[in-house]
Structure 1
């Protein structure tokens, strides 16, 4: 077991919190401690994923390299793609928008198989991320998630 510290965010998290909508990729916030990131990239490589840009995904583990990509390329997410999963790219945030360790203690755990559960960002943190992003699809997600929350309290 790789024991990688990460949290699922984005569209899959929206779905996990009850608003079923289409999403074509997986958004992850990985704790950006170098060894943790290296393990995450090695696991993703073993599953057939590679960086969309022509670099070794393990380079993402280097904080100086990430800082360079952020400042020079305005990178927000590091995208990984796979020929085996061509329609399911993975976006890894280049900055931690929240403390991953703290969120792991508060997050939802979604069963995705008989022996596998994945950590999904809490509803409150997801809504905060969506508000900060402020794109039309994020605002729509907020609207529907808040409607669902209202129904849960009725």
Structure 2
């Protein structure tokens, strides 16, 4: 499963990360289909560089022609002036294999829960932080995800 491949590659690269987005919603028990893997990193140059290397080792390439160093160095500018929320990677041979690195949040300021899945333990954003992130995004699917999580975890 692609999610497990991504997690293994990031762990091998010693990247500090947690699963966010649709997979996190599903891992917390809500019914949710998704194709891409969303992750949040510790905001450090080392983690950005290691994540880029790990994802490239899986055959994923950045959708924008920018390096990890550039995304890290100019993150605030990308967020403010270019409305960039995530640094996206995909597999040119299989576009369904995609990873979005959410650059608007710092893992150091978020809570992580370890959730068992597929015979392993996955680092997943805690429900409270995931709900807050979903509400802040404000898109219809994100608001539906937040509502579903609030019903499951009142």
Pair member with larger Rg: 1
For 2:141, what is the secondary structure of its paired residue? helix
Give unmatched runs, 5+ long, in structure 1.
none
**Count of residue pairs brought into register by the alignment:** 143
1:107 aligns with 2:118: no
1:67 to 76, 87, 93: 76
- 1-structure distance, mates of 2:60, 2:46: 19
Contact 1:51 1:81 (8 Å CA) reproduced:
yes
TM-score under structure 2 length normalisation: 0.80
Aligned counterpart, 2:101: 92
Distance 1:119 1:34, change over 3 A: same
What is the Cα deviation at residue 120 of structure 1?
Answer: 0.3
Aligned counterpart, 2:35: 24
TM-score under structure 1 length normalisation: 0.80
For 1:81, what is the secondary structure of its paired residue? strand
Structure 1 stretches of 4+ with a deviation exceeding 4 A read none
- 2-structure distance, mates of 1:60, 1:9: 23
Give unmatched runs, 5+ long, in structure 2.
1-11
Distance 1:83 1:75, change over 3 A: same
